[in-house]
Each structure stands twice: as C-alpha cells, then as structure tokens.
Structure 1
Amino acid sequence: MKPDGFPYAAPWWLPGGNAQTLWAALASRRHFGPVPRWTRSRWIAPDGDFIDVDQAQHASPTGAPLLVLFHGLEGSSASQYAVAFADFAAANGLAFAVPHFRGCSGELNRAPRAYHSGDFEEINWILKRFAAENPGRPLLAVGVSLGGNALMRWAAEMGASASQHVRAVASVCSPLDLAAGGHAIGRGFNRLVYTRMFLGSMVPKALKKLEQHPGLFDRDALLAARNLFEFDNLFTAPLHGFRDTQDYWSRASAKPVLHQIRVPALALNARNDPFVPAVSLPTPQQVGRHVTLWQPAQGGHVGFPVSHGALGVPGHVRAMPEAVGHWLLAHL
C-alpha cells in the first residue's frame, strides 16, 4: 500500500468527509480548459437492449490512449468527476469516453433490468467493443464508486486475460465491500441526505420500469423502501439474478477477489469517505502484487477538492483525475 501515492490535503475551509463530498459535487470547479463537448452513440447490447456512450470531442493524436470512465450510482457524463477526467484527458492528448450504465443517459432502457455494482459482464462487452473499435489505441479504464467496484470485479474475473483489452485500471472511492458501504449510507446523516438523494432518482426510474414490464416487482413495497438495502431487496437483487440484498452485496463485492487481478490496478479510497467505512478498506495482505492501494486520510466520497484562487475558494476537483490519470499513463 502507498497511502501517500496521492498526498491529498483538504482545504482548511472544508473540514470532514461530508463537506469535502458535498462541495465537490455541488460547487467545485470541474475543468480548467473549455467545457467538454460530447458525441453520443447508441450501442446495442448482446441481449438487444442499449446503452448510450458519450465520447469527448476534443482532438487526440492517432494512437493516443483511450481513457474509459465508468460512472457511479446514478451518475453520467455530466457528473463532476466525469467532467474533470474529460478535462484531464484533453490536457494530456487522450481520447476519452463515458459509457452510461443502462437507464443513466436520460432515456430508460428497454429490458427488465437496470445495472448493479457487480455488473462485470456489462463491463466486459463494453471494453471489448472499445478495444475492437480502437485497435490503434491502448485502453485505460477508471471506475468511480459503483463503476469502480464493477470494473475491479471485471479485472478479477478476467485474470491474466484482462491485459488483452486494457493496460491498467483504477477505482476511485469504490465500495469494494458493498455490505459495509450499504449499511453506512443507511445511517444517520447519510440516510437523511445521500440515501434520500439516490432514492429520489432511483425510485421514479424503477416505477417507469414497472410500467414497461407490469408485474416485475411489488409497487407498494418499493414505494415503502426507506434505504438502499430495502430498494436492492425489491429491485436490484431480484432483477439481476441475486436471491436478496445480502446475496447481491456478498457476490458483487470486489474486495474478496482483488487478489485475482493480474493487470496493474489502483484502488483510491479516502479514509473519511461517508459511504465507505475506513475499517472496510482492503489491506495490502488482501490484494495481490498487481494492486496498488492509495488511502489518504481525507477526500470524502469522490471529493478531493483543492483550494483555488487568492482566498482559497472556490475549490476545484482536477487534482484527483490528475493523480489517477498519470498513474494509469505510467502503466502503458
């Protein structure tokens, strides 16, 4: 483990994980260059459903690496971290793409399923297609929060064959132990703020899914769900082949299989992340030699804001993509 691989120090005016998380998401500066512009493509999935893929329009040299970002729960190419990574890619001459998980691009997907934290089969066909369509570009992949857990699950499942598709992977603030993260987000301030925010987006989409596929789940029970455990028990787990939430969180977690990874992999987690208890983070003894652990004391959940300007405000969030991006580039 190299906890100082990203020697992050939070601004004095943002004490604590919640402040660092919320400022980054709501008020931070995301880019130094022009606002990222996107070209959207629709990809048909192996089961006939679709995802939407946004590719940054900035120029990159022929043969330059392609950086693929897998977003977090209810995220998109508009999320602050996606914009910041796009800005990093533009500044460093990299091609950049954000594949949206099903239902996250602004249009509900068609199949009686959505996406989940251990969706490594989805990661697999997406990365294989990127590799096939960009034969002259080395692929690098980063996953944020949920997307990072799914990416690490993919790397573990693929083992040595992952190197046929990517040169290196990274996860940022991912709940690699889903049970620990799921229980943490369901308590106290987290439940009042973050759980309410996520359910405020996920429940309406689930109800639209029920209109598409009547009888898919119990509508009244879903409306009564007050935390992610209950939502996953009624929606996420059964729709994706899991017995219940406990089965889903157990089987989908990347932490137990990190030792199987055979490509360079970085796991960055702040130890004050409100969603991911520090006690649940992997230790050097639990990962193989291919996995690097960065666990700075501060940063929040996909926060890592940095002071900017004479008075230290407003902060920006380009430092984390800079550190993670250069780590990935070092493994080409």
Structure 2
Amino acid sequence: MLPHYAAPIWLKGGGHLQTIYPKVLALPSVCYRRELLSDSTQETVVAYDFIDAPQTHAPVVVLFHGLEGSSHSHYALTLMHMVKQKQWHGVVVHYRGCGGVVNQSHKAYHSGDSLECEWMLQQLRQRYPEQKLYVMGVSLGGNMLAKYLGEAQNLALADAAAVISAPLDLPMASVALEKGLSKKLYAPYFLRSLLPKATQERHQGKHPHLHWDHLLASNGLKDFDQHYTAPVHGFDNADSYYRLSSAKPVLRHIQIPTLIINAQNDPFLPPEALPTAAEVSACVTLYQPDHGGHVGFVSGPFPGNLQWLPQTVLTFFSEHA
C-alpha cells in the first residue's frame, strides 16, 4: 500500500504555494561521487552523480531531474538521502549543460528525448548488470522517462519506474504555463538560466540559423521553445515539439511497473489533462491527490518536510524488488 498524501492544513493555500515552499526548507546534505561520461552524440560529457552502497548487489535508484534541475534540487537531495539510508546505490544523471558542466554538443536537451534516456540507462545497465534498476523521472525528466518506457515497451532497461509531476500532455501544459500567475512566476525562474546558456552557445558560433534576437527577447517558455528548443532539435515549431514529445499517447504501452504521481493542483498541468485509467496500461499505477503542487508534496507539522515523496517512491520500488 502506498502512503496517502494530504497537504498540511497550514499549507493549503493552493498549487503555487505548495510548489514554491519546498525551496525554502532545510535540506539534507548528500555527498556524491561525480563521473563525467559521454552523451549519445559523443560530442560532450555529462555529469553522473553517484551514491555507492556498501553491498555491490544492492538495488540502484536512478533519477532524471526536471528542467534546469540537478543533483542538488530539493527532490534529488531528499530522494538520495533516503536511498543512502536504505543502503542502496543512487545515481542522478544530468542532461547536456546541466550540473555545472558546459555543453559542447550541437544538441541540448528536451522533454521528448527518449533516445538520450535510453543511452543513459544503457550506460548504467552495463555498470550494474545484475542489480535491480529503478528509475524516477521528475517533471521534464518524468515526461522523457515515460515516453521512453512507452516506446521501449518490454525492452525498457528498468525494473520499475516512477514518474513525478510530469507534464505528460505538453500542449496543455504549455497553455497552463503561458497564463497569469504561472507565467509571471515560472518563466523568469527558468529563463534566468536557459538564456545565458543559449547566449554562451551563440558566442561559440553554434546554431547560426537561429533568430537570436527573438530568442533573447523571450518572455515565456513557449517563446524559448519556439526559437531554441524546436529548431535545435529538428522540430518545425514549439507546437510540433509539444505534440511529438508528449508521453501521454504512449502510456498505454508501458510494460514495467510504473507509478505516475500528479497533483490535481499542479500549476504546470491542469487536472483535465491528467491521464485516466483508460489511457494507461495495466502496469501503470496512477496517483492523483488533490494537493501537492508541482514536485511539492510537503508533509508534517510546521515547517514541514519533503519525506512523503521519496518514501512513496521507494515503497513502490520495494514492493517490486
């Protein structure tokens, strides 16, 4: 049985508050062992941050982070701290240009890059050939993971998976993030790091075909995807990128035990866009609590903690060990 989630009475102010509040909480310290490994283009290296278990054959928990996230994101630290307590192996894999490593490839990363997801899992399966491999994807990383699982079906390189707060319907998520308070809160936060990375690539002479003036004037995530993500990765435009990268259409093809958690009040995806039981395979467990925000899920008495999410995910993995 998965633990039930109920937001604390003192934090029922809505999805935005439940999304932002975790960033002010004190977080556990995690000591990683970093390795730089090649990406699938063989043009750059990316960071893999490891936690090593005392026993070689212990299970391995892999985390795919969200947009502009890292091994030091609040969900990564709380998950990996708990993984270490269980004496399991842990790995946070970073996308191109994330985790403080400069991207030298002609590609960056995006929500639908299931090929890169497969490449990363291949590297880890070679390293851990006999261990159970459990994979968790958060937000952008969750959509990428779910798309990979649906496409790979019974060839997926994981024994179980968890998909957290993923914008599984990217067209609907884009509409939600382009409106009102969501656009004012989240677009500046992400563009603060996305645009400098793009500017650095411009100085390196990459992507001369881009409309750089339009890109650097972006005031929303759809602007950035229209002028950068889509053309850099071969999509016609932002709408085409969203449509072709959404994981929701392939959820019915997933063939490994997979937990999908989405809060009904997640500002990144409206409740009417959440997958239903009829849209997923029998291997998928849907959990859609009323509260939790976007990768929030604070619990406990004030000031609260972030233990519910990693406990729930690791409980699910343990049940399928």
TM-score, normalised via structure 1 length: 0.93
One-letter code aligned to 1:28:
L
Matched, 1:328 2:320: no
Residue 68 (structure 2) aligns with:
74
What is aligned with 2:57?
A: 63
- SS of the equivalent of 1:196 reads helix
**Residue 143 of structure 1 aligns with which residue?**
137
Aligned partner (choices 69, 79, 93) of residue 87 of structure 2: 93
Counterpart residue identity of residue 228, structure 2: F
Deviation at 1:216, TM superposition (A): 4.4
Cα RMSD of the aligned pairs, angstroms, is 1.3
Residue 8 of structure 1 is matched in structure 2 by: 5
Using the TM superposition, give the Cα deviation of residue 73 of structure 1 relative to its aligned residue in structure 2, in angstroms: 0.3
SS in 1 for 2:61: strand
- Paired amino acid for 1:37: C
CA contact (8 A) 1:29 1:314 kept: no
**Structure 1: which 5+ residue stretches go unaligned?**
none
Listed one character per residue, the Cα deviations across residues 83-133 of structure 1 (whole Å, up to 9, x for unaligned) are 011011012121000010111111221012110001100010110110101
Q: What is the CA distance between 1:7 and its match in structure 2?
A: 1.6
1:28 aligned partner: 25
Q: 1:219 aligns with which of 205, 212, 232?
A: 212
Instruction: State the Cα deviation string for residues 54-91 of structure 1 (Å, max 9, x = none).
Output: 1125x332211000000000000000000011011012
Q: Please tell me whether the aligned partners of residues 10 and 299 of structure 1 are also in contact (alpha carbons under 8 angstroms).
A: yes
Residue of structure 2 equivalent to 1:179: 171
Q: Counterparts of 2:292 and 2:94 in 1: how far apart (Å)?
A: 25
Greater Cα offset, 63-72 or 99-108: 99-108
- 1:261-304 per-residue CA deviation (whole Å, 9 max, x = no partner) reads 11111110000011111110000011111111000010000000
Equivalent residue, structure 1, for 2:237: 244
Q: Which runs of structure 2 are paired with 1:1-332 in the superposition (5 Å)?
A: 5-15=2-12, 16-24=14-22, 26-31=23-28, 35-48=29-42, 49-57=44-52, 59-162=53-156, 165-214=157-206, 215-307=208-300, 312-332=301-321
> What number of residue pairs does the alignment pair up?
318
Deviation for aligned residue 1:6: 4.4
> C-alpha displacement at 1:209, in angstroms?
1.4
CA distance in 2, matches of 1:11, 1:216: 50
| Higher mean C-alpha displacement, 214-223 vs 241-250 | 214-223
RCO (CA 8 Å, sep 6+): is it higher in 1 or 2? 1
Q: Which amino acid aligns with 1:155?
A: L
Aligned residue for 2:49, secondary structure, equals strand
Structure 1 residue 321, shift from structure 2 partner: 0.7
Structure 2: gaps of 5 or more residues = none
What per-residue deviation string (whole Å, max 9, x for no partner) do you get for residues 184-220 of structure 1? Answer: 1111111111111011111111111122234141221
**Do 1:152 and 1:171's aligned partners in 2 also have CA atoms closer than 8 Å?**
yes
Aligned letter for 2:223?
Answer: E
Partners in 1 of 2:54 and 2:142 — Cα distance?
Answer: 25
Task: Tell me if structure 1 keeps the 8 A contact 2:2–2:316.
Answer: no
CA distance, structure 2, for counterparts of residue 142 and residue 168 of structure 1 = 9
The alpha carbon displacement at 1:30 in A equals 3.3
The ranges of structure 1 where at least 4 consecutive aligned residues each deviate by more than 3 angstroms after the TM superposition are none
Query: For 1:125-172, what per-residue CA distance to the aligned partner results, in whole angstroms no more than 9, with x for missing partners?
Result: 11011010112311000000000000011101101111xx21111100
Q: Secondary structure of 1:267's match?
A: strand
> 1:89, 1:96 within 8 Å by CA — same for their partners in 2?
yes
Task: State the identity as a percent.
Answer: 39
Instruction: Tell me if the contact between 2:46 and 2:101 (Cα under 8 Å) persists in the aligned partners.
Output: no
